Structure 1
Amino acid sequence: MNNLPPVIITEDLTKVYDEGAIPVKAVNQVNLQIDQGEFTALVGPSGSGKTTLLNMIGGLDRPSSGKVWVDGKNLGAMKKNQLIDFRLHNIGFVFQAYNLIPVLTARENIEFVMLLQKASKKERNHRVLELLREVGLQDKMNNRPDELSGGQQQRVAVARALASKPKFVLADEPTANLDSKTAANLLDIMSKLNQEEGITFIFSTHDQRVIDRAHRVITLVDGAIESDELIANASDHIESV
């Protein structure tokens, strides 16, 4: 995509879970390079290793063996506090289970990461209101998660991931609980940020709506890469599907 070095590199990345007598390789020696500004979908059947790979790229899960570099940093060489700080300032996460803080309102959940980053009150207010408008939840800003539908909670989770303007957004099934209109709107927002601000997006997904927007589709089977397809012209691809 460009002449710059890849911003994400995995080298023989492997994750083994000891479940009973037989160890399970959730991710099996994955070698991958992601360039800055990619809009990439990880696809494959349930249990193929998509979420585990995404979590290791984001530093949420440690590999059993192999290495992960993100923005030139070897995540495996970082101490816990260093890794937390790196994630805070560089990576936005969208979790399939939302992971919203139950006692905080929608507005406060979106704002939370910016508070940790010590952003000014003015900056926080502007950014949060902007994102609430974009995800169509201005009227729900003071509602807590238990007062929101699953789709509304997911929209809050997406807005929270984008609030800090991260270099990377890692999204695990971000549209799974959304109707077609809302899913399209959120994908439009993320695509715009990708194109205008160069944010790198990696999705773990079963959703054809996400796959149709991706510029690159990586298929995992049994924890290994089965295929890696670069879509030459994403808009042509969308029209042809």
Structure 2
Amino acid sequence: MNTVIDAHNISKVYNPTTIPVYAVNNVHLHLQKGEFTALVGPSGSGKTTLLNMIGGLDRPDEGNIFINGIDITKLSANELISFRLQNIGFVFQSFNLIPVLTAKENVEFIMQLQKASKQQREERVKTLFAQIGLQDKLNERPSRLSGGQQQRVAVARALASRPQFVLADEPTANLDTKSAFNLLDIMAKLNMEENITFLFSTHDQRVIDRARRVITLVDGRIVQDTAEVSTQHEEAAAVKT
């Protein structure tokens, strides 16, 4: 597998000149292509801050973050905007759909920023709406869609630009059980069939149960990583044999 995310010694500090508070404290994180990973931990543990730094929405005060070998901490503001557009898909808790646009137009918007042709946009929208099961909702505005449907459109929008990976911040928090499971089914299928990398920040046990790797944060530090636990078990088994 190829390394997609490689974060070294990253920290985010508030009040550095008085009493420093570390939202993220000296974190090392490596994600491979095709992983389906959940960041978990109590409120204030640093999950969203870490996710935002990986996504280039915030900058670490210390350390470096490499995305496909590119150190995004060294990019200018304009370079970072362009990099996010071409490489990262975002799914937010609050959907963040543009209310005056239809579902189709919301998904096309990212591709328009990428200067994709009308034909390319139409073909991609057709494929994505088939994958999320909303072919009959293309021309509906967000206010006419349920919460679950809006979040599925948000997933399609995140994938429209064919990103290297998708960052999802509490994507199921506002959804009922059926809608949450439908959304997770869609993302898990995309992960398995298209090898799309997903990194979730979540409190939701429904997401945690579906993740193949769970990273636990407490007070800005990684205190457990099931990938490391699994590796240790495999190494122990190899020694015994």
Provide TM-score, normalisation by structure 2: 0.87
State the alpha-carbon separation in 2 of the partners of residues 32 and 190 from structure 1: 22
Asked whether the 8 Å contact 2:38–2:199 carries over to 1, the reply is yes
1:101 matched to 2:104: no
How far apart, CA to CA, are the structure 2 residues paired with 1:218 and 1:205?
A: 11
Q: Partner of 2:226: helix, strand, or coil? A: strand
Provide the C-alpha distance between the structure 1 equivalents of 2:138 and 2:148, rounded to a whole number of angstroms. 14
What SS does structure 2 have at the residue aligned with 1:62?
coil
**Equivalents in 2 of 1:139, 1:47: separation in Å?**
40
- Quote the Cα distance in structure 1 between the aligned partners of 2:37 and 2:185: 15
Task: Tell me which of 75, 84, 89 is aligned to 1:87.
Answer: 84
The SS at the match of 2:15 is strand
Out of 64, 68, 72, the position equivalent to 1:67 is 64
Name 1:225's counterpart in structure 2.
222
Structure 1 residue 217 displacement after superposition: 0.3
User: Paired residue for 1:173, among 167, 170, 175?
Assistant: 170
Query: Could you give the per-residue CA deviations for residues 196-219 of structure 1, whole angstroms, max 9, x where no partner exists?
Result: 322211011111121111111000
Instruction: State the 1:160 CA deviation.
Output: 0.7
- Cα displacement (A) at 1:23: 3.5
How many residue pairs get matched?
A: 229
% identity of equivalent residues: 67
Residues 176-213 of structure 1: per-residue CA shift (max 9 Å, x gap) = 22233332232222222222322211011111121111
User: What per-residue deviation string (whole Å, max 9, x for no partner) do you get for residues 13-72 of structure 1?
Assistant: 111223996442111110111111111110011111111101100111011111111110
* 1:174, distance to aligned residue in structure 2 (A): 1.2
With the length of structure 1 as denominator, give the TM-score of the two structures: 0.87
Q: Which moved more, 1:88-97 or 1:131-140?
A: 131-140
Equivalent residue for 1:238? none
User: Which of these residues, 204, 210, 213, is aligned with residue 213 of structure 1?
Assistant: 210
Counterpart in 1 of 2:159?
162
Corresponding position: 1:132 with 2:129 = yes
Q: CA RMSD in A?
A: 2.1
Is the contact made by 1:7 and 1:34 (CA closer than 8 Å) also made in structure 2?
yes
Aligned to 2:238: none
Matched, 1:36 2:33: yes
Contact 1:158 1:174 in 2 (8 A): no
User: Any gaps of 5 or more consecutive residues in structure 2?
Assistant: 231-241
Quick check: 2:216–2:225 contact (8 Å CA) kept in 1? yes
